[in-house]
Amino acid sequence: MNTTKSQELYKRGQRHMVGAVNSPVRAFQSVGGTPIFIDHGQGAYVTDVDGNTYVDLVQSYGPMILGHGHPKVLEAVSQAITKGFSFGASTEAEVELAEIICDAFPGMDMVRLVNSGTEAVFSAIRLARAFKGKNKIIKFDGCYHGHADSLLVAAGSGVATLSLPGSSGVPEEAVKNTLIATYNSLDSVKQHIAANEDIAAVIIEPIAGNMGVVLPQDNFLKDLKILCEQHNILLIIDEVMTGFRSTFGGAQEVLGVEADITCLGKVIGGGFPVGAYGARREIMEMVAPLGPMYQAGTLSGNPIAVASGIATLKALRGTNPYQLFNELGKNISNTLLEEARKNKIDLTVNRFGAMLNPFFNANEINNFDDAKQCNTDQFAKFFWLMMEEGVFIPPSQYEAWFLSIAIGSTELDKLKIAISNSFKKLTNP
């Protein structure tokens, strides 16, 4: 596997780019080695600047659910570009995308388009605080909701701890109203509610995708919604990662719970920068220009991004690939588990729809503390073995693998061979 050009670009990029990257996970720090630089993608594949081609299970961390260069999306984007890049005024396409999104989410009457998942989340939290007239929020250890100050919080020991900043540059004052609970532990939420009267909202990923695909156990989400209703607290469900990945709508529909406010991103832009937050009418009417909660954006509802989003969602609705995703995900999961068993490697695989993750750990993974017990050194070796086999997976034990409709029988066969060879080399280098 030749990476000469990637190495040259990495060295060159370090001069004027922080770590030669524009998002930390791209630096490959958790797996070591030099990060690759991608030249292009087509269908289920990406090709780097050295000409190495990989089956792509990163999928830009979620948006490319149709694969790269889908003809319907290319056509829509090409037509939109000829009309203009940005206007600072509304377009018909924004109305259409809003209609598609609201139709797909029961209980969502209105939506506001923004430019990223991070922007959607911090806007949703501001909205919850405005609607409830309270300041505190509860989030869960290991759930990532973007890099806004109030959400970059690391939990200490115990199930109901004081918040501490999880990033340099975030003052304690910025996180003093953020309380940390343990994913899949309703008791940890109850402890915070018992100790605090001014909680506006609980925010959660329905499937935690930044600790490596962790699913809610038993009736955790349903019970959480009931608890919120009992104490006059809004439930914000962050579907930036899961939206339109397990059904044409949200994971909350599959899991039998309805959010008060939903956050979206990734798939609704089809690879372009788009985010959104939405809720029932009485909540959304708090947002300017109808209400006192201010939020604005020069490029919100960008016509090129919106065109890509509409084409992506229409293609998903037309193909309805979700049963296929379940079968494909199950097939890959079974292969991972079987090859790990053959080679006497501890492995647990969590899967939900078009998302899955192998944990190098023999035990169940139900929260972030469980995930942190994984053998990350073993994962790092596995990562590079898969790269040498022509498969691009996220360079972190804690990032989800994403499937796309472009993965067919040919790609599945390649994945099975790559997994088998990689596990063999893990035990017999």
Mind telling me the catalytic residues?
A: 144, 238, 266
Burial (CB count within 10 angstroms: exposed 0-12, middle 13-18, buried 19+), residue 400? buried
Question: What is the Cα–Cα distance from 392 to 395, expressed in whole angstroms?
Answer: 9
Question: What is the Cα–Cα distance from 387 to 421, expressed in whole angstroms?
Answer: 11
Q: Which residue(s) pair with 53 in the sheet?
A: 47
Q: CA dist 205 to 27, 62, 299, Å?
A: 25, 14, 26
> Cβ distance 264 to 206 under 8 Å?
no
Q: Which residue(s) pair with 186 in the sheet?
A: none
Q: Which residue(s) pair with 350 in the sheet?
A: 357
Question: What is the Cα–Cα distance from 414 to 397, expressed in whole angstroms?
Answer: 21
Question: What is the Cα–Cα distance from 263 to 286, expressed in whole angstroms?
Answer: 16
> Cβ distance 206 to 216 under 8 Å?
yes
The neighbour count for residue 130, using CB atoms within 10 Å, is: 18
SS3 360: coil
**Angle, alpha carbons 356-312-70 (nearest 5°):** 90
Amino acid in position 13? G
Return the DSSP state at 87.
-
Say if residue 165 is preceded by a cis peptide, omega within 30 of 0. Answer: no
Buried-state track 354-393, b at ≥16 Cβ within 10 A, e below 16: bbbbbbbbeeebbbbbbbeebbbebbbbbbbbbbebbbbb
- Residue 169 dihedral angles phi and psi, to the nearest 5°: 95, -5
Question: What is the Cα–Cα distance from 32 to 75, expressed in whole angstroms?
Answer: 39
Amino acid in position 127? L
Return the DSSP state at 34.
P
* CA nearest to 225, candidates 234, 216, 217: 234
Question: What is the Cα–Cα distance from 348 to 341, expressed in whole angstroms?
Answer: 10
Question: What is the Cα–Cα distance from 205 to 189, expressed in whole angstroms?
Answer: 15
